[in-house]
Structures are given as structure tokens and as C-alpha cells.
Amino acid sequence: MNTSSMLHVNDISKWFGGLQALSKVSISVTASTVHGIIGPNGAGKTTLFNVITGMISPDQGSVLLNGKLLPRQKPHKLVSMGIARTFQNTRLFKNMTVLENVMIGQHVHTPTPVFSIILNTEFARNWEKKTREEALIALAFVGLEAKAAEIVKNLSYGQQRLVEFARAIAAKPKLILLDEPAAGMNPTEKANLLQFVATLRENGYTIILIEHDMKLVMNICDTISVLDHGKKIAEGNPEGIRIHPEVIRAYLGKRES
Ligand SMILES: Nc1ncnc2c1ncn2[C@@H]1O[C@H](COP(=O)(O)OP(=O)(O)OP(=O)(O)O)[C@@H](O)[C@H]1O
């Protein structure tokens, strides 16, 4: 297993007007591991994801991916840098098929000029065939291959989340950020999610997830960073975090899940 750090979040601070959402937060994420970000509501978790993915600029600090500084960027640029993200609320094209939604995630890798597609060149046809095959592999990975031709809006909410995960994987990222992946899932879907994330890790992916479901977090994560009021108050393996006094005080004691 690769044990090197692939992502370094260095000393990040972020203010929204008078409110400090993040205060000197530093996190190192080891390649091929699952890293959890937990904390009570308003702790700064989503803001941290937005900084890592370049959606917002920090007021202080830097983010390095494999030693390279990550600039502020448009979401579609992220994919070409090897980062994929899913959101708290699904962002799918509800009237399109499952397969089409997953294929869209790969369009960033399309070297095909528009006129080539319009003219239906052999190059464009080959690209579409390859994209389709890869989308089907991603769908098989999340157990949704049989639903490829289904219109997304006809799927359950948990299945729609899986379509998003398939779209994220199909883009062939090195780093995947999952924002509350278990939200709205039933126990069976959560068990599948656990399996799916474990398989991703076995296949060398690096995963960072925000999650409120403590059972899932404790089962799935190698390392957990805990935020409270914008500060990192603890970090370690699930066993250590479970009994960490600051964490119990700030979060687990509030019985959030
Ligand atoms: N765009 C914004 N403008 C102003 N305040 C913001 C903005 N985004 C976040 N905040 C504030 O920053 C703080 C951290 O918010 P953030 O969404 O990062 O927390 P969180 O830990 O993800 O919470 P939750 O678990 O509820 O999703 C909160 O007080 C929030 O109200």
C-alpha cells in the first residue's frame, strides 16, 4: 500500500464576514486511505471541502495535491486534476438515463472537437464507445449496471446517490471527496456504500468523506479529523477518536446520529 501523503491542507483560515468558518486547519491525507472529516453542524466541514476543491479561496493557507499547489478553479477543471466530488444533494440530470449521467462525467477527457462529433467521424464514434464501456464498468462497480437504461428520476434516492458515485469514479480520479454519502440511505444501501468505499480503497483510490453517521464513519475510516467551530480539535484512528475527551464533549456527547 502507498503510505505517502497525497493531499496537504496547510494552515487554512476562512472568514465569512465576521464569522471565522475555518481557523488554521491543517490535514494530511495518506494515499489509498479513507479519511473522515466529522464535527457538529456548522463546524466548517463543507467549507473545508470547498477550499480543497478550489471552489472558494482561503484567506490564509494553501492546499497541495501531490506537492503541487491547487489553485482556485471551476468545478470541471477539478476532474482533469484527478479530483472528483459528490455533493450533499445529488446533482444529476433527472430526465436523462443513468448511463448518460455517468457518461457526462467523463466528458472532461474528451479530446474530440465539436465538429468531429457533428460529422460523426470514426474518431468520435470510437470515443463514444469507449466512454460507454467505461461508464458501464463504473455502474457495475456500484451495483447499478442493470439500471443503465433507466431514467434517473425513477430511481430511489439511495440509488441516485450511487449514480453520482459511479459518475465520480468514471472520471478516473485519484482523490474522491464524498459529502455525506450516507445521507438519505436505508440500512441496506449504507451496507453497500461501506463495501463500495472499501473496494475503492483496495483499488488504490484515496477518499475523503464528510459524514454524520458515526457508525459508518467508525467502520469505514482509517483516519478521522474532527472539526468544531472551525478548529481541528482531534485527529486519529476511529478507536482513538471514539474516546477522545474533546470529541465526546464537542460532538459525540450531543448524540448527533
Ligand atoms: N457562503 C457563506 N456565507 C456565510 N457564512 C457561511 C457560508 N458558508 C458557510 N458559512 C458559515 O460557516 C460556518 C461553517 O459552515 P459549514 O457549512 O462549513 O459547516 P458544516 O460543518 O459543513 O455544517 P453541516 O454539518 O451543517 O453541513 C457556519 O456557521 C455557516 O453558517
Q: What percentage of residues in the chain have a pLDDT greater than 90?
A: 60
Give the C-alpha separation, 103 to 173, whole Å.
14
- Our answer on whether the CB atom of 188 is closer than 6 Å to any ligand 1 atom is no
| pLDDT averaged over every residue in the chain | 87
Give the C-alpha separation, 63 to 129, whole Å.
36
- pTM score: 0.87
The protein residue with its alpha carbon nearest to ligand 1, atom 16, reads 44
Find the 231 Cα to ligand 1 centroid distance in Å. Answer: 13
Give the C-alpha separation, 214 to 200, whole Å.
20
What's the CATH code, domain 91-180+196-207? 3.40.50.300
- The predicted structure's pLDDT at residue 254: 56
The protein residue with its alpha carbon nearest to ligand 1, atom 17, reads 46
Give the C-alpha separation, 99 to 104, whole Å.
9
Find the 86 Cα to ligand 1 centroid distance in Å. Answer: 17
Cell 488504490 found at: 204
Find the 46 Cα to ligand 1 centroid distance in Å. Answer: 7
- Our answer on whether the CB atom of 257 is closer than 6 Å to any ligand 1 atom is no
- Our answer on whether the CB atom of 42 is closer than 6 Å to any ligand 1 atom is yes
Q: List, for residues 92-140, the tens digit of each pLDDT value.
A: 999 999 999 999 866 555 555 555 556 666 766 777 888 899 999 999 9
Nearest to 44 by CA among 208, 229, 178: 229
Segments making up each domain of the chain, as ranges: 91-180+196-207
User: Which helix (DSSP H) or strand (DSSP E) does residue 218 occupy?
Assistant: helix 214-220
- Our answer on whether the CB atom of 44 is closer than 6 Å to any ligand 1 atom is yes
ipTM for the complex?
A: 0.97
